Amino acid sequence: MTQLAKYVKEMRKQFGLTQVDLSQKSGVGLRFVRELEQGKETLRLDKVNQVLALFGAAMQPGKISES
């Protein structure tokens, strides 16, 4: 599971929302929420940000860390 998937799932539970609640409140489909929480690699960034906006967050460009 990706960091994004973990974050969304944890925040959803912290806010007491079901996946259905999250999809309705954010304006994205239930399938999208499920795929997001499962860590699907190809997702629309605008929809990801719709979901994250409910938690006061957003995806943005950043440097890739070198390990």
Domain assignments of the chain as residue spans, ordered by start: 3-53
> Under CATH, which number does the domain 3-53 receive?
1.10.260.40
pLDDT digits (tens, 9 = 90+) for 16-43: 999 999 999 999 999 999 999 999 999 9
DSSP 37: H
What band does 56 get if pLDDT is binned at 50, 70 and 90?
very high
pLDDT at residue 67 greater than cutoff 70: no
Question: Is residue 8 a contact partner of residue 37, using CB atoms and an 8 Å limit?
Answer: yes
b/e 52-62 (16+ beta carbons within 10 angstroms → b): bebbeeeeeee
pLDDT at residue 64 greater than cutoff 90: no
pLDDT at residue 55 greater than cutoff 70: yes
